[in-house]
Structure 1
Amino acid sequence: MDDPLRNPFGAAMTRRERTLLGLLFAVILVAVLALIRSQPWGRIDIRPFKPSTVDWIVCVKLNEEGNGDLLMLKPDGQSLLLTQDNYDDQSPAWAPDGKKIVFSSNRRDQVYQLWTIDPDGKGLMQLTIGGGAKQAPIYDKDGEHILHIAQGLVTEVDAKGTHATQLIPLASQMTQVREQFGQVAFRYARRYSETLIAAVQRIDEGEQAVIQDLTLGREQFTLPVLLTGAQVDIDWAPDKPQLVVSGVAVPLPTTSPDELKPMGAILRFDFSNGIREPQVQPLWLDPTNRQGAIEVAWSPDGARIAFVLVERKPDGTLVRKGLYTVPEAGGPPTEIVAGEVYEPSWAPDGQQLVFAMGSVGARQIYTVRIDGTDLKPRTESGDHISPRWSPARK
């Protein structure tokens, strides 16, 4: 027979002692696994089956203190609070398969870090650690990396949170960028491919859109500037290296190439021949500078660009006038919805839009078809922002 287990005193262990030892081992194992799972490098997704999120919409519901909770709106009219606490959750973004959401939150030590959560509110996990705020996350097309702003710099982190890389500016560009602008502060970034990234940078005069080709990054010590303005926004075409850039009070040449005049604008930059020789086409211009375009969003089918039309007051204040679209080749804009619209986001089929609308403190989420019909309120009370339609398809 095998030798019996013995206790520290050399005597054979009783059944009770063996049971207690087994329980102690189980408790230690559970504690170790919990510690591992609490760390970004220990993330393990143990849920093999997750709900279908076709036509689900995630948004942020603001409380009276201005802090955000994640709210999920389902196609059957039901809603589900994914988070509900005193922390501030912001900028939710879907994984390409619609099975995970990344967002920024100050729920640990009051420092904004990236977190992920399942669409049904389960599986809340911290993705990043370390000092400095991490904000404005968005998944890459393959779902393997998440682009975000870390302490003002454009950074990527892998989907498990194990490795982060600074992308804009590169280390070799930092000195020149600081000397040129005095600060390095980006608002958000969008990526077309592994090496081609555009970003919106805050500057003393307002904002500017810049482009980074990582294959050339070490050869160029300055960032190519595409457009400057009081406010600038960007989005990539879904299937080609073309970037739409919109702005308010954008200095553009008029009759004389040397004479710049501020105006509202939507421009398309084609980088098929590289970032050094982009082909630029105006899609919409307001030479009077009384109007501008913000929050552009290129449709998933590539056919049109949605944007928020704003009226620019003499003191520079922007008044939101409505949701519009313009063909990707340019042409007259089409009004979809009039009103104080915020942050339009496309349905994956390119036939519907979701957006927030209303005065600050009472903004509701709406959906609408691209011809302006079937306008539906998806929330009824409270204040909501940042709606994002799930990319999942039937």
Structure 2
Amino acid sequence: PPTVLEITPVTTAPGLDLNPTFSPGGNSLAYSSDRGGIWLMPALGGTPRQLTEFGCHPAWSRDGSQVAFQSESFHDMIQPYASSATIWVVASGGGAPRQVTSAGRPAGGHLFPTWSPDGRRIAFLNANMLSMQLWSISSGGEQLIQLSPDGSGDKADVTYAPDGESIYFTMGMTLFKMRVSPETGARRGRPARVADLGSMPFRHPTFSADGGKLAYSAWAVKSNVWSVPLSAQTHAAAGPPEALTDELNSRNGLFDFSPDGRKIAFTSMRRGSGYQLWLMDSDGGNKSQLTTDAQAAYSPSWSPTGERIAFQSMREGRTTLSSIELASRKETVQTGAEGLEILRLSPDARQVAFTYVPGNFFNIGVMPVEGGPPRQLTFERTFTGLPSWSPDGKLLAFQSKRGDDMQIMLIPSDGGTPTQLTFDRGDKWPYSWSPGGDKIVFAGARGGIWNLWWISPSDKSERQLTHNTKPGIILRFPGWSPLGDQIIYEQAEITGNIYVMSLKN
């Protein structure tokens, strides 16, 4: 194994500096900062120089003359689709940035740019609610090409091989190679599997200069359902959080309490069975699998009577709103839901709210449970989504991107002008309301650390409910019990190490 000879701090300014990447000659570092934009500095330390006022994830062209970047920050471990970023290029010597991709073409965020060796093309990931796929565009902003079709599995970590004739990417635990034309950027044939790590996600591949070695990180992900007890009177935490599930290399989230607060329906993703619905008691006992759908079942919502659970499913490649009767386990397709994601049933079970992409930009809408045209509620040009109903059904809380930060918003469920509740830095995921409708619980990242909070829509007061201090822990989808005494949430812990792989041919 290599021996670390010396570790030298290169940036020392207060705040968060990240995404460092060496210039091809190794003399300079480009990085992004929460002070704003892309920065350059000598590789061994010195005075940093701000290259742009916005953006992150810089990528050097192979001759070192240009830096490509995405216009918004992006957290690839947290919410991959919640971006409205576009790809830009700036001369490494300074000057005005130039936009390469256009918002909405394709719909979603344009992420992780990587240069072809000859500097003629930039490959990137397009992230939308349905999938993350590979695209390519000329460095001048022409000849936009989709390299992988929608519905072919989520891609990540795109990088050109040094010879420019292949693009490598990851899908979950697997590394793939796609041959492309160096002249046109078009795909040649089907992607080939290079390596499979089995149970560990394959991330961040990078080539040695001669193409003979590939470094990468292998992650271990532990995502489980956790619970924090609450005082029903003060809404403060009444004890430390506890895990309700204990699974490794699976995903457990997207919950809903039964109307009486005694049961929890949740989504569990396990390799081999995909996303399925499970049931358990509110204390984590009596776990049982509820669905065995061939493709996917997720995002449960209980009916007001507690006799049925509505959920989102994939059937024959199409998204549907379905329901299951708990006594008989009989499933019924309610209506088609193509292009709609994270469906949430209204308290009276007459409507569903969702995130979708009308006119190439993420927004929220509603429709009757029996189907019909969606009714658009928001008209934003940045990511806007994840609506949650107030207990009386009159309001929807949702998140919307404002600059590099995700903010909590409110809108009447029958339409109107949105109201912004939060204004501070960081990410915020509202997902449910207190039983009385006077609090909204959200997962929030402040200073890069995730915790649970609630906010009052009336006076905007807040209270912190958990006290996590580890940057490798991510909290999502908090759900408030109808009894008012418990909040459940997904807690994901990610660890990993770096490996080097030798390649042949």
TM-score with structure 2 length normalisation?
0.41
Q: Hey, what's the Cα distance between the residues in 2 that align with 1:243 and 1:307?
A: 14
From the two aligned structures, give the one with the greater helix fraction: 1
Q: What is aligned with 1:342?
A: 475
Cα distance in 2, alignment partners of residues 308 and 82 from structure 1: 19
Residues 1:225 and 1:231: Cα distance change in structure 2 (over 3 Å)? closer
Q: Over aligned residue pairs, what C-alpha RMSD do you find?
A: 4.4
Cα displacement string for residues 203-223 of structure 1 (whole angstroms, at most 9, x for unaligned residues)? 8967422111347x44xx344
Q: Partner of 2:296 in structure 1? A: 133
**Offset of residue 198 of structure 1:** 0.6
Q: Which of the residues 319, 322, 334 maps onto 1:155?
A: 322
Does the CA-based 8 Å contact 2:363-2:376 persist in structure 1? Answer: no
- 2:288 and 2:454 mapped to 1: Cα distance? 37
- Alpha-carbon distance in structure 2 between the residues aligned to 1:100 and 1:188: 20
Tell me the residue number matched to 1:31.
none
Higher relative contact order (CA 8 A, sep 6+): 1
User: Taking structure 1 as reference, are residues 204 and 249 closer, same or farther at Cα in structure 2, changes over 3 Å only?
Assistant: farther
Q: For 1:79-98, what aligned pairs fall within 5 Å after superposition?
A: 89-98=252-261
> Per-residue deviation at 1:190?
3.7
Corresponding residue for residue 366 of structure 2: 211
> Identity rate of aligned residues, in percent?
18
Return the letter of the residue paired with 2:292: I
Q: Does 1:306 align with 2:438?
A: no
Letter paired with 1:144: E
Distance 1:97 1:223 in 2: 31
Deviates more, 1:149-158 or 1:298-307: 149-158
Q: Which amino acid aligns with 2:462?
A: T
The answer to whether the Cα contact below 8 Å between 1:346 and 1:352 also exists between their aligned partners in 2 is yes
Q: Aligned in 2, Cα 1:126/1:235: closer, same or farther, shift over 3 Å?
A: same
Give the alignment partner of residue 265 of structure 2, picking from 102, 119, 133.
102
**2:409 is the counterpart of 1:242:** no
C-alpha distance in structure 2 between counterparts of 1:129 and 1:333, whole Å? 43
CA pair 157-249 structure 1, distance change in 2 beyond 3 A: farther
**1:149–1:188 Cα contact (<8 Å) kept:** yes
**Per-residue deviation, residues 106-149 of structure 1 (Å, max 9, x unmatched):** 56952333233445776554433342111122323321221222
Question: 2:417 matched to 1:280?
Answer: yes
Separation in 2 of the partners of 1:325 and 1:307? 6
**Which blocks of at least 5 consecutive residues in structure 2 are unaligned?**
1-218, 230-237, 496-505
Query: Are 2:408 and 1:266 aligned?
Result: yes
CA distance in 2, matches of 1:305, 1:147: 22
Q: Which amino acid aligns with 1:239?
A: D
Are residues 353 and 248 of structure 1, via their aligned partners in 2, closer, same or farther at CA, if it must alter by over 3 Å?
Answer: same
Which residue of 1 is the match for residue 342 of structure 2? 187
The aligned amino acid for 1:235 is S
Query: What secondary structure, in the 3-state scheme, does the structure 2 residue paired with 1:156 have?
Result: strand
Count of residues paired in the alignment: 257
Task: Provide, for residues 63-111 of structure 1, a one-character-per-residue CA deviation record: whole Å limited to 9, x for no partner.
Answer: x843656678899989786676886554444322344332334569523
Cα contact 2:440–2:456 (8 A) shared by 1: yes
Contact 1:137–1:148 (Cα < 8 Å) also in 2: yes
Change (3 A) 1:114 1:202: farther
Deviation at 1:349, TM superposition (A): 5.7
Is residue 208–residue 225 contact of structure 1 (8 Å, CA) maintained in 2? yes
Q: Does 1:361 align with 2:490?
A: no
1:156-182 deviation line (CA, Å, top 9, x unaligned): 32224303223453xxxx5xxxxxxxx
2:425 matched to 1:297? no
Q: Is the 8 A contact 1:291 1:310 kept in 2?
A: yes
Q: Is the 8 A contact 1:232 1:248 kept in 2?
A: no
Task: Show the counterpart of 1:201.
Answer: 356
1:348: Cα distance to partner? 4.5
Partner of 1:111: 274
C-alpha distance in 2, partners of 1:135/1:67?
Answer: 19
Report the CA distance shift for 1:190/1:292 in structure 2 as closer, same or farther (over 3 A).
farther
**Cα separation, 2, equivalents of 1:71 and 1:92:** 11
Verify: 1:328 aligned to 2:463, yes or no. no
Measure the CA separation in 2 of the matches of 1:77 and 1:193.
34
User: Per-residue deviation at 1:224?
Assistant: 2.1
Larger deviation, residues 348-357 vs 150-159: 348-357
CA distance in 1, matches of 2:388, 2:433: 6
1: CA distance, partners of 2:427 / 2:241: 36
Kindly indicate whether the alpha-carbon contact (under 8 Å) linking 1:297 and 1:346 is maintained by their aligned counterparts in 2. Answer: yes
Q: Secondary structure at the match of 1:226?
A: coil
